[in-house]
Amino acid sequence: MGNERIKSVPNRLKFFPVMMFAIVMGLAGLSLVYGKAHEVLGIYEIFYEVLSYFTIIIFFIILITYFRKMMKYHDEVKEEFSHPIRINFFAAISISFILVSMLFKPINIQVSLSLFTIGTVLHLFFTFYTLSFWINKPLNIQHSNPAWFIPIVGNLIIPVGGIDFLSNNVLIYFFSIGIFFWIIMFSIILNRIIFHDQFAQKFIPTLFILIAPPTVGLLAYYKLTTNFDIFAIILYNLGLFFIFLLFFMYKNFLKIKFFISWWAFTFPLASMALATLLVYSITKELIYFYLSYFFIICVTVVVGLVAYNTLKHIVKKEICIME
């Protein structure tokens, strides 16, 4: 029996999914929301500080665990990297580096710069590799899903996190890639959603990723230009449209079984809350004040529920198993 227990540990490591980095994205997004809420609404800074340190710890735990998997089960990692759907989640690794670098800025600017540099270089590689993968491999329309936005959205996060580290011209390069391919990817995904079979149940939460490109795009655009013009308003309103559309479709999400992909709910909601806090800080209009609190509550509740379900399934050993 002792031998069986010893054998079960490496097997669970073998099936540790790259999608686990979506946990870091969700927690980092929530941390940044409370940081912005402290700045704009005066919410206690302790929430931001506790969440930031907790996120940093989780990031290093997941990073070290996945690195161990790469060392011990490199064939499985290689298989993930060649999978038409899972390949998109590798960009969550580089995005996690960038988001955690943003949390490190008030703590240690040099560590923040190092993490941002690693994340940016990695993300540039993942962007080129993923796009070349799409071009060179014979993919089916069923392979397309909103997770395809992850490598694209990362290019919009780089200007948000890198405003203190890189010149505007370099950051605009990444912004241009993100905005251009967001439009193209959205057309492909919309075609997939309307004219082809429904997503597998485990990928339904990824529909929330539709919220991320316009809202993160707004954050990046404002960082680069400090303009809140018609283009910025359009980006925000598109994010608002997608989130209300998904709320309208709430029945689609009520009966889905728990998968680690539930973390796809979290970062897009956080980006919506951040965008709304930004809009309120600029306009001071009452509607955005109430929407800010509404989205803060939404993302807090959703992250709490997803984290609880994740812990529950970890205890039951229903995560990191062969699918």
DSSP per-residue letters across 188-213: HHHHHHHHSPPPPGGGGGGGGGGGHH
Average pLDDT over residues 201-223: 88
Q: Which residues contact 190 (CB under 8 A, 6 or more apart)?
A: none
The two most distant CA atoms of the chain are separated, in Å, by 66
Element holding 145 (H helix, E strand): none
Mean pLDDT of the chain: 88
The C-alpha atoms of residue 50 and residue 57 are separated, in whole angstroms, by: 11
Say which CATH superfamily domain 12-315 falls into. Answer: Voltage-dependent anion channel (1.50.10.150)
Q: How confident is the model at residue 14 (pLDDT cuts 50, 70, 90)?
A: confident
pLDDT, one tens digit per residue, over 110-159 is 999 999 999 999 999 999 998 898 888 877 777 777 888 888 888 999 99
pTM score: 0.90
pLDDT, one tens digit per residue, over 19-58 is 899 999 999 999 999 999 999 999 999 999 999 999 999 9
Residue 149's identity, in one-letter code, is F
pLDDT, one tens digit per residue, over 213-254 is 999 999 999 999 999 999 999 999 999 999 999 889 888 777
| pLDDT > 70: percent of the chain | 95
pLDDT surpassing 50 at residue 5: no
The C-alpha atoms of residue 131 and residue 110 are separated, in whole angstroms, by: 32
Six-digit token string for 84? 């038409």
Domain positions in the chain:
12-315
pLDDT surpassing 70 at residue 309: yes
